[in-house]
Amino acid sequence: MIKNLQRIFILSLALLITNKVKSQQQEGLTVYSLRSSNLVRLIDTSGVIVKTWVTNQPTRYSQYLEPGGVLVRTCGTAYTIPGAHGGMFSHVQKWDYAGNLIWNWQYSTSTYCVHHDIAIMPNGNVLVMVAEVKTPMQFAAAGGTLTGPAYFYNEKVMEVQPTGLTTGNIVWQWDMWDHLVQNVNPLGANYQPSIVDHPELLNINFNVQYDLMHMNGIDYNPVLDQIALSSRYKDEIYIIDHSTSTAEAATHSGGNSGKGGDFLYRWGNPAAYQAVGPKILDAPHDSHWVPEGSVDAGYFVGLNISGVTTPSARTCVDKVLTPRTNYNYTISPGAAFTPSNASKRYMSPVQIAGYSNSQQLKNGNQMMCFTTGNIWEVDTAGTIIWSTYVGPGFSPQAHRYSACYINNQPLPQPIVYNSGGLLTTTTVASEYQWYLNGNLLFGVTSPMILPNQSGIYVLRITDPNTCEYQFSPGYKYTYIPPQPVGINDHTAELNTLQLYPNPNTGLLNITMENLSQYSVEIFNIGGERIYNGENIKQIDLSNFSDGLYFCKITAEKNSITKKITLIK
C-alpha cells in the first residue's frame, strides 16, 4: 500500500511540474531506452526521471507501456541468423512497474529471428515481425530473378499469446511468401502477366535485395482488426487483415475484407506495383494509425526518413486519409491507390538515416524521437514546443502516456454478447461507444444496442478517469428482419405495440391489437433481465432506478423490443 502511495505521489508531482510548461504542450510521461542499454526510463516534460527499469538484456528497438504501467520491450542479441542487421533481436519481454520480469519470450535461431517493432493488442497478446531465411533455390522457384545472395529474408507477422514466464503460443500468422507475384516465369504458380492489375500482391522482382522488404514498423487497429506494416526497401506502408484465420491469411479470400492475407492498401511508391504516380515515401519507418481520441484519429501515418529534399533535406511525418469503405480500400483498375500526396505533412528539424518514430498526441501535436538523441514535441505549425536530449547515444523509439494511464488498473477487454437480439457487455465502464464495420456510430453510447442491420460490431469502453480506451473483439451480427405476415406469426399484432407513457414515471401500460397471449421481459442498460411476466397490461417500474430500459414482447416465435426511459 505504501509503495502504491509513493508511486501515485511521484507521478502526481510529475504532472504538477508538467502543468507549468506551455499550455499547448501535451502533458504526460515519456518512455525511452538508449539502444544497447539495459535501462528503460520514464521522464516528465521537464526531463526529470520518474522511473527506471533495470533490465537484464540490451534494448534493440522499441518499448511500450500497457495500461497499468507494464513495460513491453524488444531486446537481446542472442541470434545466429546469417546477415543479421541492427533491427534484429532475440527476446520480447514484459516487466511490471515494480521492476519484476513477468514475460521473457525468445524467438531466434539460425533460420528465423524477430526484428524491429512490436504491437500490443487489447487482449494482451503481442504482434511481432519475423525475418525468415529463404534459399536461392526457394527464391528462384517463387519467380525471383536476382542471383548472387547466399540467402534471402522473407517476412512473417505472428500474434503471440504469453502463456508462462518464457513461453508463448503463436495463435495467428501471416506469411508474405503466400502473397508474391511475378511476370517473368509463366510456369510459376504466382505468375501474372500484369503486375499493375494485382496491387494486392508483392512483386518479388521490384527493387530486390537479400532483405526483400526490411519491414520496420507494425501497428494494430482494434476498430478495423487490421495491421499496419512499413517497408524501408519498397518505400511503402501497407495494411493487411487480421480478422482471418491463419489458414485464410495464406489465401486471397476470407476475413472481414473478404481478401484473406492480401494487401488491402499500400501507399508511398506506386512503382512497386507498376502503377503511375509520384513516389512519396523514401525509407519509411513506423507505420501506424492515429489512435481513437486523438486529433485526426484514423489517419494512416508513416515516418518519411528522406521525404523532403528542398530547400534542405529533412525527415517528415506524413499522414494519409485512406479511401476506406468499411473494411476495404477503393482503387481504380490499373491505377495507384489514392491519395497521390500526403494528406498532411509535418516537418522535422533535421534529417536522419533510420530507426526513429513519431507519435500523434491527443492535442494534435507530434512527438518525434530521432537518432540524433533528441525527442521533440512539434505543434501543427512545425514549431518545437518541447525537447529533450537523451544522449550520448539514441533511443530508437519513444512514446508518451498520461500518468493515469500508467497508474490506474487496466480495464478488462469487453466481450460483446447477444441477449435476445440485444448486443451488450457485462463490463462496467464510464463511457461506451459502438462501431459498425469499422465506422463510429454517432450517438450510440450505451452499453446495450438493438441492431437493425448485419455487420461487425465493436464496443469501445473508457475507464472512470477517462485515461484509457479498451476495445472488444468484433461481434458478427446477422440481422433477421421481421417476417412477412402469415398464419399465427403475430407480426401484425406486435407491430401495434404501444408502451406509454414514455418517458415513464413508474407505471408502464402495454397495449396491442388482437393479441392476448405473449410474454414480457424488461432489461436494464447492462443487459440484465429485471422483470418477466405473461399477458401483462401494466407494469410497476417505481422500484427501479431512473434510466434507459428495454421492453421485449414475445408471441410464439416472433418478438419486438422497444426502449423505455424511466424518470421518476
28-79 confidence digits (pLDDT tens): 999 999 999 999 999 999 999 999 999 999 999 999 999 999 999 999 987 8
The pLDDT value given to residue 557 = 75
Q: Is the CB of residue 335 less than 8 Å from the CB of residue 274?
A: no
The whole-number average pLDDT for the span 529-556 is 89
pLDDT band at 22 (very low <50, low <70, confident <90, very high): very low
The pLDDT value given to residue 288 = 99
CA distance 84 to 204: 21
pLDDT reading at 128 higher than 60: yes
pLDDT reading at 20 higher than 50: no
pLDDT reading at 191 higher than 90: yes
pLDDT band at 547 (very low <50, low <70, confident <90, very high): confident
Asked which of 71-80, 349-358, 482-491 is least confident by mean pLDDT, the reply is 482-491
The domains of the chain are located at 2-407, 417-477, 491-566
The pLDDT value given to residue 489 = 60
pLDDT reading at 217 higher than 80: yes
The pLDDT value given to residue 482 = 62
246-258 confidence digits (pLDDT tens): 999 999 999 999 9
- CATH 1.10.760.10 correct for 2-407: no
CA distance 305 to 315: 5
Q: How far is CA 27 from CA 140, 269, 385, 386, 395, in A?
A: 53, 36, 12, 11, 20
Mean pLDDT comparison of 3-7, 11-15, 416-420, 442-446, highest-scoring range? 442-446
pLDDT band at 464 (very low <50, low <70, confident <90, very high): confident
pLDDT reading at 312 higher than 90: no
* DSSP letters spanning 209-278: -SBSS-EEEEEEETTTTEEEEEETTTTEEEEEE-SS-HHHHTSSS-STTSSTTS-SEEES-GGGGT--S-
The pLDDT value given to residue 516 = 83
Element (H, E) at 129: strand 126-134
The whole-number average pLDDT for the span 434-441 is 98
The whole-number average pLDDT for the span 125-151 is 98
Q: Where are the alpha helices (DSSP H) in 333-479?
A: 403-407
Q: Which of the pair, 311 or 106, is modelled with greater confidence?
A: 106
Q: Which of the pair, 43 or 549, is modelled with greater confidence?
A: 43
- Over pLDDT 90: what percentage of the chain? 78
pLDDT band at 380 (very low <50, low <70, confident <90, very high): confident
pLDDT band at 13 (very low <50, low <70, confident <90, very high): very low
Element (H, E) at 15: helix 2-18
Tell me which amino acid residue 51 is: K
Q: Which residues pair with 237 in a beta bridge?
A: 230, 267
pLDDT reading at 165 higher than 90: yes
Q: Is the CB of residue 359 less than 8 Å from the CB of residue 327?
A: no
pLDDT band at 435 (very low <50, low <70, confident <90, very high): very high
Q: Is the CB of residue 131 less than 8 Å from the CB of residue 176?
A: no
The whole-number average pLDDT for the span 212-227 is 98
The pLDDT value given to residue 110 = 95
Q: How far is CA 156 from CA 26, 129, 293, in A?
A: 36, 6, 30
Residue spans of beta strands (DSSP E) within 36-96: 39-43, 49-54, 59-66, 70-75, 91-95
The whole-number average pLDDT for the span 407-432 is 90
Q: Is the CB of residue 398 less than 8 Å from the CB of residue 369?
A: yes
pLDDT band at 460 (very low <50, low <70, confident <90, very high): very high
The pLDDT value given to residue 487 = 43
The pLDDT value given to residue 492 = 78
Q: Is the CB of residue 8 less than 8 Å from the CB of residue 407?
A: yes
pLDDT reading at 19 higher than 50: no
**Considering the entire predicted model, what is its pTM?**
0.87
Q: Which of the pair, 78 or 100, is modelled with greater confidence?
A: 100
Count CB neighbours of 540 within 10 A: 10
Asked which of 195-209, 246-260, 300-314, 486-500 is least confident by mean pLDDT, the reply is 486-500
Residue 64 sits at the vertex; the CA angle it makes with 342 and 298, to the nearest 5 degrees, is 30
The fold of 491-566 is: Immunoglobulin-like (2.60.40)
Q: Is the CB of residue 215 less than 8 Å from the CB of residue 237?
A: no
The pLDDT value given to residue 7 = 52
Which residue is it, cell 404501444?
498
The pLDDT value given to residue 355 = 92
Whether the bond between 503 and the residue before it is cis, its omega within 30 degrees of 0, is yes
pLDDT band at 5 (very low <50, low <70, confident <90, very high): very low
pLDDT band at 9 (very low <50, low <70, confident <90, very high): very low
